Amino acid sequence: MRILLVEDDERLAAGLRSVLEDAGYVVDHTADGETAWFQGGTEPYSAAILDLGLPTLDGLTVLKRWRAEGRTFPVLILTARGNWNERVEGIDAGADDYLPKPFQMEELLARLRAILRRAAGQATPVLSVGQVTLDPRQMRVSIEGVPVHLSPQEYRLVSYLMTHAGRVVSQQELTEQLYAQDFERESNAIEVLIGRVRRKLGGDFIQTRRGFGYIVEQPNS
Ligand code: CA
């Protein structure tokens, strides 16, 4: 899942980026509002983490513009502690949740998981398709309760497909979600990755819809 991180405090941004990447997310970072507005309007993000106090264009204006332009990805805003009217304005402008600074990274990750879950229409944190379960809190995938070791990139693939279970996901969409903007993408990288995951999770867990993309079946209810 690809996340847009908008934060002009370089130290905080570097810390956030590494925590998010360790948690399996692909991160694009920008430090100013104009660039954030542009990127959020053109790149397919699963969610954004948006600081409100930004150079060139403030976070609230960025958020209002995204929403006015029909961008629906969930947004977690970072606000100054005690500034309750900023939080109210942010939520009214279309933010899905907020976190006052300073915060614990664990809380940020939990809130991010929650907004991603709601955006995908899931009620529970653990995903389950056939015999395969995925717990994003522990980044763990298991078959019938037995953990399977996946590389970070394999985990990202499984997580994205299971979050969108029941829908065909194109190769281009997977490439966009699994690699950061500046990454050199090998043309057959996704096929190779799919092959590796099939060897670990069973040949029919991910199905190919030739000419359209890949699908994992509906989640167990
Ligand atoms: Ca700031």
The 10s digit of each residue's pLDDT in 78-128 is 998 778 899 999 999 999 999 999 999 999 999 999 999 999 888 888 999
What pLDDT does residue 221 have?
A: 61
50-67 pLDDT, tens digit each: 999 999 999 999 999 999
pLDDT at 12: 97
Backbone φ/ψ region at 145: left (φ over 0), alpha (ψ -120 to 50), beta: left
Quote the pLDDT of residue 166.
Answer: 92
- Residue 36: Cβ-neighbour burial (10 angstroms; 0-12, 13-18, 19+): buried
Dist. CA 136 → ligand 1 center (Å): 29
pLDDT at position 201 over 80: yes
Average pLDDT over residues 168-195: 87
Tell me the fold of 2-119: Rossmann fold (3.40.50)
Rounded to two decimals, the pTM is 0.89
Q: Quote the ligand 1 centre to 46 CA distance (angstroms).
A: 22
Say how many Å lie between the CA of residue 191 and the centre of ligand 1.
40
pLDDT of 162 > 90? The answer is yes
For the residues 156-183, what does the mean pLDDT come to?
Answer: 90
Architecture of the 127-215 domain: Orthogonal Bundle (1.10)
Domain segments of the chain: what residues?
2-119, 127-215
Question: Which residue has better confidence, 203 or 148?
Answer: 148
| Å from CA of 80 to ligand 1 middle | 9
